[in-house]
């Protein structure tokens, strides 16, 4: 529920360059917003929104006013973005096709830090205990310190990674297109197990611990295979 309001809103995006806000109780439209074009590319939205930060395949991250849908600020990258952003302690974090993983200040829209990979980043990140985890099309799993953007470790697999990781009990779970599920120590990247699957997978695992279920972020990577 939004601060200072007595209603819930449902937010979602479409491939026609619009983000919608609906009233939860009856589905009535509160507002819809077509985002600006950028970089000469027709904007389409394939990543899940984080209230209310949304990425676009025109290479921009947008911050929207939750009440009106107006754009408060935008941040440009050098390529399409299908990685869903996450917001942690004032950091908006996401990957881009320009081979960089970004942390952007949630208030000002300015760059805090970025980490360079060697191929596009489709995977949506997961946060746990001061660290952010994501995969890259360069076949690596990354662990980065949220505070300063320092690369803590990266782990090589044998296939591109488009799925999103889940972290639970100091353990990272992530699938690679090399037909394996990797189970790693979240602090050291030491292999706990590698589970062979029948085929390539760009879906993401979930963890059911009985009292809670841990879900990954959702990435709309299907467009750019």
106 secondary structure, DSSP code: T
**Model confidence over 196-224: pLDDT tens digits?**
987 777 778 888 888 887 877 664 443 33
Confidence of residue 8 (pLDDT cuts 50, 70, 90): low
The contacts found for 129-133 with CB under 8 angstroms, 24 or more apart, are 129/170, 129/186, 131/186, 132/86, 132/88, 132/93, 133/165, 133/167, 133/172, 133/174, 133/186
Phi-psi category of residue 104: left, alpha or beta, with phi > 0 → left and psi -120 to 50 → alpha: beta
**Which pLDDT score, from 0 to 100, does residue 169 have?**
93
**CA nearest to 84, candidates 121, 112, 125, 113:** 125
**Which pLDDT score, from 0 to 100, does residue 212 have?**
83
CA torsion, ordered 141, 112, 46, 56, to nearest 10 deg:
-140
List the domains of the chain with CATH numbers.
1-116 (2.40.128.630), 123-217 (2.40.10.480)
């Amino acid at each position: 529920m939004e601060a200072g309001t007595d209603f819930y809103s449902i937010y979602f995006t479409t491939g026609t360059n619009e983000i919608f806000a609906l009233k939860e109780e009856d589905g009535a439209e509160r507002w819809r917003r077509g985002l600006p074009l950028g970089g000469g590319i027709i904007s389409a939205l394939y990543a899940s929104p984080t209230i209310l930060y949304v990425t676009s395949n025109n290479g921009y991250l947008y911050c929207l006013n939750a009440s009106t849908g107006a754009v408060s600020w935008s941040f440009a990258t050098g390529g399409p973005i299908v990685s869903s952003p996450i917001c942690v302690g004032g950091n908006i974090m996401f990957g881009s096709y320009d081979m960089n993983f970004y942390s952007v200040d949630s208030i000002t829209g300015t760059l805090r830090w970025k980490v360079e990979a060697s191929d596009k980043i489709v995977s949506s990140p997961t946060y746990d205990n001061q660290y952010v985890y994501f995969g890259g099309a360069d076949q690596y799993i990354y662990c980065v310190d949220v505070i300063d953007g320092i690369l803590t470790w990266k782990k090589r697999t044998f296939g591109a990674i488009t799925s999103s990781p889940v972290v639970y009990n100091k353990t990272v779970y992530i699938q690679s297109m090399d037909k394996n599920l990797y189970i790693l120590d979240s602090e050291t990247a030491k292999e706990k197990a590698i589970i062979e699957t029948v085929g390539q997978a760009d879906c993401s695992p979930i963890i059911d611990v009985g009292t809670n279920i841990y879900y990954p972020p959702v990435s709309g990577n299907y467009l750019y295979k």
